[in-house]
Structure 1
Amino acid sequence: MDSVTTTFSKHQFSHSHTTTTFHTPVTPIQSLSFRTHNRNHNFRLLCFSSNPSQPPPVVVIGSANADIYVEIDRLPREGETLAAKSGETLAGGKGANQATCSAKLSHPTYFVGQVGDDAYGSLVTGALRGGGVRLDNLTVVPSVPTGHAVVMLQSNGQNSIIIIGGANLSGWPSALPRQHLDLVAQAGIVLLQREIPDYVNAQVAQAARNAGVPVVLDAGGMDGPLPPQILNFVDILSPNETELARLTGMPTESFEQIAQAALKCHEMGVKQVLVKLGQKGSALFVEGEKPIQQPAIVAKTVVDTTGAGDTFTAAFAVALVEGKSKTECLRFAAAAACLCVQVKGASPSMPDRKSVLDLLNPQ
């Protein structure tokens, strides 16, 4: 997809961390109304530039991390010291991963987040920009380090991760700047995760609902319960089976148990639950409808599972905002996740659109 012209008028804002100037021309807006999951929404389809076929952007609000990779044969036991086979630092963070994935899938994508004024911040910013993500709303917080994570990558491709929140959790204003909320209101879909404060997600979700913009919340991140003020404004909740069990207090070892846990999420106010099941695939539970199951597309070689869930969620959102059916969205997301696990790193492993389509439609 060709690059698009953004729709935001020129603004200049000052907030406590940095001053950012935005220079982007306004283009016409086209609105359509349609019905979704038994609830009326007027989702505005914003047409960027003069081509009405070009979709509105994906807007990701979330975390950006520097991932410190340590390759090991196995996890150390208590009190044990192991020598790593190698180590390097790559861009990551659930928000940055999802934004990079969306942009590499050739969809116009904006990222709203925070980094520190340090080497890790430069690394993450460079990776986002290199992936084609628009960074007008990325804030540099001078007094706080960039978020980072220690990723212990085992030889079988599985990982254990320890996260240091840094700028992802500190320094957000109590009320989000107007340009952030304006961007949300003009999105085609908004992606959230739980590696930034709940109050930020709550403001974004409410602004999106007020503008008729659908919200996808990835349940990964903080362990605590989801506040009702977020759940009430989320259209699709996307946990993996472990997160689903934690959020509902219910077992998720079988598909029947997963279905019951998804029903509990419906009772909590979420109409659609998109569950990532790793090697067992995925399932979408829409309130009042039969579940849609998608088998995993098996990777030839699993190198690193870091970021696979973020890839899946972002690819699903891209397909959804581009008007694909739910079944097509699940298949597209499964293909993207399959390609992700075959490459080391989180953001570096996000596939491009051609690779996904080639996997789905082999010649």
Structure 2
Amino acid sequence: MQGRVVVIGSLNMDLVTRAQRLPRAGETLAGESFTTVPGGKGANQAVAAARLGAEVAMIGCVGDDAYGQSLREGLIAEGIDCRALEVVAGMSSGVALIVVDAASQNTIVIVAGSNGCLSSRLIERFDAMLQGADVVVCQMEVPPDTVAFALARARQLGKTVILNPAPVNGPLPVEWLASVDYLIPNESEAAALTGLPVDDLSSAQEAGRHLRGLGAARVIVTLGAQGAVMVSARGSEHFAAPVVQAVDTTAAGDTFVGAFAAALARGCTEHESILFGQRAAAISVTRAGAQPSIPRLEELGG
């Protein structure tokens, strides 16, 4: 069983430069390299789900520029259904301006561009895509009203709903959480959602319980090298992360979400899907870049 995943979200072109250190305010540094890499949380998760076994459709917006054309062509090359990927006239595509230092620390500025044009009207036009989905995935690099509409409609249709609450600066509306089957924040996002410090397994479990109390059915807090914690009606469970030598953690979280969605869509259990997502994310951090780092199904043994 392949399973069908619909991803509703952002597409960005990542403009990445590397330097020995990050510049201070007002300072100009000589960079060592520059690359353009397809990214955006929505597109990354769509690519991960497609490479890892799912039939995927993407609902989003790109600008009528060279970046938009490149982003669209990249998804089509991955076998992703792009009928609902709208080109917005007169608007630039989303971009992320990224500076990475020698210690792999980075600064990022995101310009939403056409991602800010993703509306509920586009989702309504392609409602048949949602009706045919097994799993619907959302993030938060597009307008909040659009996310709210997508979550509510997916819940109304009885789909498995995943929300990766990123980026986030504070608590979410409780009506959003009531529509979510799997809320998947990292530790900083879990802290922002709850107002609690989240820096170890115990505090991640506490944050998960708090978010379940607000309405989320299940919460999976990803903790990087510390693994992940799932909190559900059955209690909490820790999943240790595979041990690897990390080179670049860009898109590791997106890889986990996409892989997890793909596994759920093809009928795997929660436990199997989390382990599958962790294996995929572990491979991704051993390689540089966002989408270029995402593994394919054969790398995980099918």
Q: Same fold (TM over 0.5)?
A: yes
Residue 184 (structure 2) aligns with = 238
Partner SS state of residue 157, structure 1: coil
Residue 49 (structure 1) aligns with = none
Q: CA deviation at 1:201?
A: 1.2
Q: Over alpha carbons, which structure has the higher Rg?
A: 1
Q: CA deviation at 1:222?
A: 4.0
1:163 matches 2:107: no
Cα displacement string for residues 217-260 of structure 1 (whole angstroms, at most 9, x for unaligned residues):
00112424322332221111110000000010001123221111
Q: CA deviation at 1:193?
A: 0.2
Output the CA distance in 1 between the equivalents of 2:256 and 2:273: 10
Cα displacement string for residues 320-351 of structure 1 (whole angstroms, at most 9, x for unaligned residues):
12222222112111110011112221112111
| TM-score of the pair, normalised by structure 1 | 0.79
Partner SS state of residue 113, structure 1: strand
Relative distance call for 1:185 and 1:70 in structure 2 (3 A) is same
Q: What's the C-alpha RMSD, in Å, of the aligned pairs? A: 1.6
Partner SS state of residue 332, structure 1: helix
Residue 304 (structure 1) aligns with = 248
Which has the larger share of helix? 2
Residue 114 (structure 1) aligns with = 61
1:58 matches 2:5: yes
> For 1:1-363, what aligned pairs fall within 5 Å after superposition?
54-169=1-116, 171-173=117-119, 175-286=121-232, 288-300=233-245, 302-357=246-301
Partner SS state of residue 121, structure 1: helix
Q: CA deviation at 1:107?
A: 1.3
Cα displacement string for residues 119-174 of structure 1 (whole angstroms, at most 9, x for unaligned residues):
110121121112221101100001211000012223333433211111111x3345
Cα displacement string for residues 287-342 of structure 1 (whole angstroms, at most 9, x for unaligned residues):
x3132211111223x22211110001111111112222222112111110011112
Native 8 Å contact 1:206 1:233 kept in 2: yes
Native 8 Å contact 2:120 2:149 kept in 1: no
In structure 1, list runs of 5 or more residues that go unmatched: 1-53, 359-363
Output the CA distance in 1 between the equivalents of 2:202 and 2:170: 25
Cα displacement string for residues 26-58 of structure 1 (whole angstroms, at most 9, x for unaligned residues):
xxxxxxxxxxxxxxxxxxxxxxxxxxxx34310
Output the CA distance in 2 between the equivalents of 1:326 and 1:231: 19
Partner SS state of residue 259, structure 1: helix
Output the CA distance in 2 between the equivalents of 1:72 and 1:303: 16
Native 8 Å contact 1:101 1:311 kept in 2: yes
Amino acid at match of 2:289: G
How many residue pairs get aligned? The number is 302
Relative distance call for 1:339 and 1:177 in structure 2 (3 A) is closer
Output the CA distance in 1 between the equivalents of 2:101 and 2:247: 9
Partner SS state of residue 230, structure 2: strand
| TM-score of the pair, normalised by structure 2 | 0.95
Q: Percent of aligned pairs with the same residue?
A: 38
Partner SS state of residue 271, structure 2: helix
Output the CA distance in 1 between the equivalents of 2:224 and 2:107: 15
Q: Which runs of 4 or more aligned residues in structure 1 lie more than 4 Å from their structure 2 counterparts after TM superposition?
A: none
Native 8 Å contact 1:159 1:304 kept in 2: no
Native 8 Å contact 2:2 2:53 kept in 1: no
Q: CA deviation at 1:188?
A: 0.4
Native 8 Å contact 2:43 2:58 kept in 1: yes
Partner SS state of residue 144, structure 1: coil
Output the CA distance in 2 between the equivalents of 1:112 and 1:203: 13
